[in-house]
Structures are given as structure tokens and as C-alpha cells.
Amino acid sequence: MSFENLNLIEPILRALKTEGYTTPTPIQEQAIPIILQNKDLLGCAQTGTGKTAAFAIPILQLLYQDRLQHKEQKTIKALILTPTRELAIQIDESFAAYGRHTGLKHLVIFGGVSQNPQVDALRRGVDILVATPGRLLDLMNQRHVHLDHIRMLVLDEADRMLDMGFVHDVKKIIAKVPVKRQTLFFSATMPNEIQQLANTILTKPEKVEVTPVSSTADTIQQSLFYVEKNDKRALLIHLLKDKAIKTALVFTRTKHGADKVVKDLVKVGITAEAIHGNKSQNARQRALSNFKNRTTRVLIATDIAARGIDIDELTHVINYELPNIPETYVHRIGRTGRAGLNGIALSFCDEEEIEFLKDIHKLISKQIPVEEGHPYPMSPQSIVAKHEEGKKKGPAQRGGSSNQRGRGFGNPNRSRGGSSGMSGRSSSRGARRD
């Protein structure tokens, strides 16, 4: 199967060729024909499967063909809602890349920066608007944005919208969009509230499902390091002495933890920057650009901040702290080992995180190989004792089910986990910008 087999128009095929894409990913192969038939779509797919191209390519084609038949109007015809600024920016970059020969105008709007340039661009007229819910509602309330002519609506990362508290805003926005439209709905998971939302906004949708969240890629080499909490800093510095680690994405559970790791690494001469919700938009983009061009060797991120980031040929993911939601582990390590490339995922586990580790092992249906030859091992007695303690406790004593933890219940001291999304690209595989 090649993109030529998907009945795509010449301007888009030419753009894909320029990008080096030849073979569509499974979700692109399944979703593009459905969307080109003007059908609603329910896509159960996580970041990294190529879903941005799966909806961006057919949207561009449909709008391009429609413009050939009708006089061009300076109205927003397609709206893509997405939870984070970084993901919004990357989706907009995808529309720019795939639509470079179509003449269609696109714009991304998000908070944290001045609205004036965004308002000016809206006045000039755009065909495709990519937006985060908060800024979009602000501009709608100021009457800078009108959604009366929307023909295509995309909800991307719907489960993350729920996690971040955006569902109410999303419902307000949908209420302003014409009932007669094509709706595309994507979510990595389908909790009840998300399924109910999908049921209310989709009309006779076709369903596409790829890569269950419980699977980890065979191309990723996983290792587990049992380590005392106070020794994690030293272990990370020790591992980064290995020059084979060209770039590393390091995950922490909290913003404060991310900043602390940056300080520790910079002190010993390792170039590092953090990306999280407390950083300004400019600071986040600068850190990301520096990491992509390898000015910065190590990027430390929280889960929500990392969602949707696209890094070419990322070699290493390091879980400095294990996530308290097991699915997040799969999302994190899936940032490497893309498009047939090999990746390495290293995870630190202290005594307090052994319960998180058990949940991860249960989800992925295998044990992560333990690395025993490092200089900062946890005492075997501590590991055994903690594992035995866990066996004696019921789920309620350990802080509830994984579903409860995902909703922020259970142990109040646990930070809420999230999912990240980053993907590489390869000339031999499909477009993976999400």
C-alpha cells in the first residue's frame, strides 16, 4: 500500500513526496478513505500512530476540491480542537507541510502569548483553524471567531481533554458549530465520559482502532534500575556519561521535579532544559527547538507538557520517576523506537514506586528486565520486603484501582499522570507528526 493507492490529489502527493513519506501507517490507510467519503470517524489511537496525517490529509483534499467548485469564502471551514499548545503547533505544522501546494490558509491559536497576531490573522481569513479550547473560547466571546460555516470538526486527544478539565469548554464550543458537519473524534482511551461525548457528537461513525495501549514496541529495549530515591540524581549523571546517549528525554511526575533535575545536570556540565506547564510558551518552544537541533542534550518533561511533541530519531527515554498510571509508561517509552528504529527506555524505581511498577508489569504482560550492574543499587532486602508488603495489601489499601488513580482518586499524595506523545519520521513509513 502506498499513498498513491488512497486516491489522493496531486498537490498533496507532491507534498508527501517532499516530506519523504511513501507508505501510510495503519490508521492512515484505514481512516483516509473513510474521511474522504465525508463520514464521521471514531478513532481509538494513541499519539505516534500517525493520526495527525490521517485527518489532516483528507481535510486538505476535501477543502481543496470544494474550493475548486465554489467561490472562495473567507470563513473557517475546518476546526481542530486539541488539548495542549505543543500539539496544536505541531498539527498546524502538519497542515503547512501537507497543504503547501493547495493554497489553503491555516492558523493555530493558543493561550500564553499575545492574542493580537492571532486576531489579525483571523481577520485576513483562514480555512483551517487549530486551537486549544481556552483561547478559542476567549476569542469567540470577543467575537473574533465565528464558527457558523464549519464543515469539519476534529476532536484530538479527547481523553487528555478530559484529564485536563477541558470537556466543559469543548461542549460549549461544539454548541456553536453547525449540526450538519463531518466530525472526527480521536482518543487513546475510551473512558465512559469520553464514550458518552462521542455518542452525542458523532453521526453513524465508522470506527478505526489501532495499537492497543497495553502494547510496547519490540524495537524498544527496556531496562529497570532499582535505586534509592536519594541516589537517582547520581545514577542519572552516571548514565549520561555514556556518549552513546546522544539525546535523552527524561520524565518526572511533577514540574518542581523537572526543574530540580535540570539544575542537577547543569551543575555537572550536561546541557539540559525543562518543559512543563509553568514555563512560558516562548520558553517551551525554545527548549524544544534546542533539543531538536541537539543544542540541548537532555530534555526533562512532565507528561502533559510532552504530549504531542515530535522528535526525530530520539534514542533514549528515561523514567526518572515511574508514572502512577500504568498506561502512561507505555505512552512515555513509545516516544522512542519509532518507524522501525531501535530505541532504549531506562526506568528508575525506588521503594515508593514498586506498587506503580507492579501495575505496569500487569498492563504490559511482562517483566521489565532488571539492570543489576549499576553503582547505586537498592538493597535486595528492601526490594523483597516491598514486594511482599504489596502482596499482603488489597487494591483499596494500595490507593484504589488504576481507573480511580486515572481520575485523580486514591492516594492524594500521588500526582496525576498523563500521556506524552512524540514521534520520529522515516522515509519508509507513513507520516507521523502527532
Position 260 scores a pLDDT of 95
Q: Do 149 and 287 belong together in one domain?
A: no
Beta bridge partners of 275: 301
Q: Which H helix or E strand runs over 413?
A: none
Q: Do 374 and 262 belong together in one domain?
A: yes
Per-residue pLDDT of 273-298, as tens digits, reads: 998 867 777 888 899 889 988 999 99
Region of 210 on the Ramachandran plot (φ > 0 left; ψ -120 to 50 alpha; else beta) = beta
What CATH number did the domain enclosing 159 receive? 3.40.50.300
Position 395 scores a pLDDT of 41
Among 176, 209, 242, the domain boundary falls at 209
Distance between CA atoms of residues 125 and 80, nearest Å: 16
Which residue shows C-alpha cell 455518542?
199
pLDDT bracket for residue 394 (50, 70, 90)? very low
Per-residue pLDDT of 86-115, as tens digits, reads: 789 889 989 998 999 999 999 999 998 999
State whether residue 318 is helix, strand or coil. Answer: strand
Position 385 scores a pLDDT of 67
Residues in the chain: 434
Average pLDDT, the chain: 83
Q: Do 156 and 276 belong together in one domain?
A: no
Does a structural domain hold residue 215? Answer: no
Does a structural domain hold residue 214? Answer: no
299 pLDDT higher than 50? yes
Which residue shows C-alpha cell 473567507?
74
pLDDT bracket for residue 308 (50, 70, 90)? low
Position 426 scores a pLDDT of 34
Structural domain count of the chain: 2
Q: Do 197 and 342 belong together in one domain?
A: no
State whether residue 220 is helix, strand or coil. Answer: strand
Per-residue pLDDT of 182-235, as tens digits, reads: 999 998 878 888 899 999 999 999 999 886 556 666 778 999 999 999 999 999
Q: Do 244 and 170 belong together in one domain?
A: no
Q: Do 304 and 193 belong together in one domain?
A: no
pLDDT bracket for residue 411 (50, 70, 90)? very low
Per-residue pLDDT of 8-63, as tens digits, reads: 999 999 999 887 788 888 899 999 999 999 999 999 886 667 789 999 999 999 99
Q: Which domain range does residue 131 map to?
A: 3-209
| CB distance 84 to 158 below 8 Å | no
